[in-house]
């Protein structure tokens, strides 16, 4: 394709999906969907039901992925019914890409090799933006929009402006991608990138693992963004090859350096310290020192945002040889079965268990206030999840702080919000 004008990566992908040589922000185009992802909460019982009411069959079952991750590991009658609806619909429609209780959808999707650079994807979940870590353009949509996609394989899109976030320097020990995105949430607010494509780049991004990049694109949703995206590189290709994605085209899916963007934000990773977002909004982020010493009833390492293999290893580094605080519950829920297995093989889970962590089954669980990690009345917790809105992780009387796996693990050890650098340097803890 020879573009008539310089384009960002997001614009190039939209143009390809729309069958056009070029697009620009504000254009409204109809795009062919390469992949549509649904989970048990958003999928068959909602979009699937509406499709059935229309008497329409899915446009291409090979491009549909269904993952059960929300209403799992729970004997509640409603959860059981939701799982049965999902299994029945998938079987009736002949959906081959069905992953039952194998992990959280945003993690399972790339694990199973479904994502590639240049793809135009939709997901029936707000954090579908995670797919952008692989050089794909992936947006979250509602059940009505998903019904249209299931029926036609197309969706209209208003081409978003791009917010370019350049992260230079090197992250210090004890500082992670979660701290970068919390800093951004604090600086520009939860609607600071409203309907934009947030494009992350710079030396610090290039040095990150795919796990860490996924944290940034996942929480683009917390900025109000249409999506988050990172240009693919050798790190991307290596991970996708290992996942069985097949041939990955990196060179064709790079944004033009001279493409106009709405705004550029520069972050110096070398100057960044651990961040903590106070209740009840991710934009309430500040340096960990501002909240240090806050007593905690629970520490939770889980969710698509914060329980990938690298997150678990971060936590293990902090708690190794230590034990959790006596009055603080400590839960760890790996984001997928594959992550659980890898963490068991390399000894990460044993380190966490030896420190007093209770290892929970994979699933959305505590992030959405379900299961053992649901906060109690009036309880204050800290979590690696992406949202801490009132009532999301427990009763309205509960309070939740957000932080990286490093900081959550350190706080589990001390029973209060703690700078992880203190423990990594050999400082005090149980």
CB within 8 Å of 302: residues ≥ 6 apart: 331, 332, 333, 334, 335, 360, 365, 366, 367, 373, 383, 384, 385
Predicted pLDDT of residue 427: 76
**Cβ distance 305 to 215 under 8 Å?**
yes
pLDDT score recorded for residue 3? 47
- Decide if 87 is inside a domain: yes
Looking at the fold, whether 171 and 316 belong to one and the same domain comes out as no
Do 259 and 366 reside in the same domain of the chain?
A: no
d(CA 34, CA 329): 42
Residue 212 in tokens: 């860490």
Per the domain annotation, does 235 fall within a domain? yes
Does one domain contain both 295 and 251? no
10-residue mean pLDDT profile of the chain (430 residues): values are 78 98 98 98 96 97 98 93 97 98 98 98 98 98 98 98 98 98 98 97 98 98 98 97 93 97 98 98 98 98 98 98 98 98 98 98 96 98 98 98 99 98 86
138 in any annotated domain: yes
Residues 329 and 243 in one domain: no
> Same domain for 182 and 258?
yes
The CB-side HSE value for 16 (13 A sphere, CA atoms) comes to: 19
- In sign, the C-alpha dihedral spanning 199, 133, 172, 224 is positive
pLDDT score for 1: 42
In a domain, residue 1? The reply is no
**341 in a domain, yes or no?**
yes
69/104 same-domain check: yes
Among 225, 249, 268, give the residue marking a domain's end: 268
End-to-end CA distance of the chain: 59
Q: 92: domain CATH number?
A: 3.30.499.10
Spell out the alpha helix ranges (H) of 243-327: 303-306, 309-319
* Surface-to-core class of residue 144, CB atoms within 10 Å of its CB (0-12 exposed, 13-18 middle, 19+ buried): exposed
Nearest to 367 by CA among 327, 404, 330, 394: 394
In a domain, residue 2? The reply is no
- Range of 31's domain? 9-268
Which of 133, 159, 134, 145 is closest to 37 using CA atoms? 145
Residues 321 and 221 in one domain: no
Domain co-membership, 193 together with 288: no
**C-alpha closest to that of 238 among 134, 136, 345:** 134
What's the farthest any 2 CA atoms get from each other in the chain? 64
* Phi, psi (deg, nearest 5) at residue 267: -125, 130
Residue 429 within a domain? no
d(CA 103, CA 304): 9
Q: Does pTM surpass 0.75?
A: yes
In a domain, 240, yes or no: yes
Asked if 154 and 303 sit in the same domain, the reply is no
Q: Are residues 191 and 333 in the same domain?
A: no
Check residue 361 and report its DSSP letter: P
The number of folded domains in the chain is 2
Where among 223, 239, 268 does a domain terminate?
268
Domain boundary among 268, 287, 317: 268
pLDDT of residue 4: 66
Beta bridge partners of 268: 168
Contact call for residues 306 and 215 (beta carbons, < 8 A): yes
**Could you tell me if 280 and 216 lie in one domain?**
no
Whether residues 193 and 248 fall in one domain: yes
Residue carrying the six token digits 């493409």: 259
């Amino acid at each position: 394709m020879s573009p008539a004008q310089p384009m960002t990566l997001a614009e190039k992908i939209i143009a390809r999906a729309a069958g056009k040589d070029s697009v620009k922000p504000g254009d409204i185009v109809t795009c062919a969907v390469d992949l549509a992802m649904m989970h048990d909460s958003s999928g068959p019982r909602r979009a699937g039901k509406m499709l059935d009411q229309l008497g329409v069959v899915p446009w291409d079952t090979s491009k549909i992925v269904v993952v059960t991750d929300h209403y799992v590991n729970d004997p509640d009658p409603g959860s059981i019914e939701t799982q049965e609806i999902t299994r029945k619909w998938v079987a009736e429609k002949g959906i081959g890409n069905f992953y039952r209780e194998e992990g959280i959808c945003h993690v399972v999707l790339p694990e199973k090799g479904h994502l590639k650079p240049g793809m135009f994807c939709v997901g029936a979940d707000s954090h579908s933006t995670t797919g952008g870590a692989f050089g794909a353009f992936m947006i979250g949509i509602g059940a009505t929009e998903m019904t249209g996609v299931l029926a036609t394989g197309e969706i209209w899109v208003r081409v978003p402006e791009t917010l370019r976030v350049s992260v230079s320097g090197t992250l210090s020990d004890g500082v992670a991608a979660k701290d970068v995105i919390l800093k951004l949430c604090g600086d520009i607010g939860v609607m600071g990138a409203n309907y934009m494509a947030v494009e992350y780049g710079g030396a610090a991004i290039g040095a990150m693992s795919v796990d860490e990049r996924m944290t940034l694109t996942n929480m683009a949703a917390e900025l109000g963004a249409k999506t988050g995206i990172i240009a693919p590189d050798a790190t991307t290709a290596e991970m996708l090859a290992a996942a069985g994605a097949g041939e990955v085209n990196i060179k064709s899916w790079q944004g033009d350096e001279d493409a106009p963007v709405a705004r550029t934000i520069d972050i110096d990773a070398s100057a960044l310290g651990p961040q903590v977002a106070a209740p009840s909004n991710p934009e309430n982020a500040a340096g960990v020192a501002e909240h240090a010493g806050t007593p905690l009833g629970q520490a939770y390492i889980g969710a698509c945002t914060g329980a990938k293999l690298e997150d678990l290893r971060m936590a293990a580094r902090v708690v190794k040889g230590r034990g959790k605080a006596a009055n603080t519950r400590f839960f760890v829920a790996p984001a997928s079965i594959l992550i659980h297995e890898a963490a068991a093989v390399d000894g990460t889970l044993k380190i966490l268990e030896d420190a007093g962590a209770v290892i929970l089954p994979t699933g959305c669980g505590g992030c959405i206030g379900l299961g053992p990690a649901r906060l109690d009345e009036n309880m204050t917790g800290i979590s690696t999840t992406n949202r801490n809105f009132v009532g999301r992780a427990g009763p309205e009387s509960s309070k939740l702080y957000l932080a990286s796996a490093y900081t959550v693990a350190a706080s589990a050890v001390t029973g209060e919000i703690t700078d992880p650098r203190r423990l990594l340097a050999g400082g005090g803890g149980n």
